[in-house]
Amino acid sequence: MNAPATFESFLLLDGEKKISITKDTKVPNAAIFTVNKEDHTLGNLLMHQLLRDPQVLFAGYKVPHPLEHKFVLRVQTTPDYSPQEALSNAITDLISESTALETRFKEAVRERREGD
């Protein structure tokens, strides 16, 4: 009876922005990104990719409440690097990783098909 529509878990409502950034004032060079209408699929992926960057001092994410479809990602970097730059490099790396994965996968399937 009170259940929200299921499409609300992935469609942005009017006026809602996909990403918003707030600077964390307690430590230098830290930012909190709030991503709307996304879940652990992207959150965990981004967090692990950020952790593989040597200039990222802290990266962590959480889904504040399972009924609210968003996640919060906190990133802290070294002084010469900004969190936005770190995030955008992480995503670029992910895109190149997926492209490499896709090529290898297609090759493997093609080899298998030819071997039959």
Binding site for other proteins (CB under 8 A): 5-7, 9-11, 17-21, 35, 38-42, 44-45, 47-49, 51-54, 84, 87-88, 91-102, 104-109, 111-113
d(CA 63, CA 70) in angstroms, rounded, equals 6
In terms of CB distance, is 80 or 111 closer to other proteins?
111
Nearest distance in Å: CB 21, other proteins = 6
In terms of CB distance, is 28 or 52 closer to other proteins?
52
Q: Which of 72, 90, 56 is nearest to 19 (CA)?
A: 72
In terms of CB distance, is 40 or 62 closer to other proteins?
40
Side-by-side strand order, sheet with 30-36 = 19-23, 30-36, 70-77, 56-62
What the block records as the tokens of 59 is 């990266």
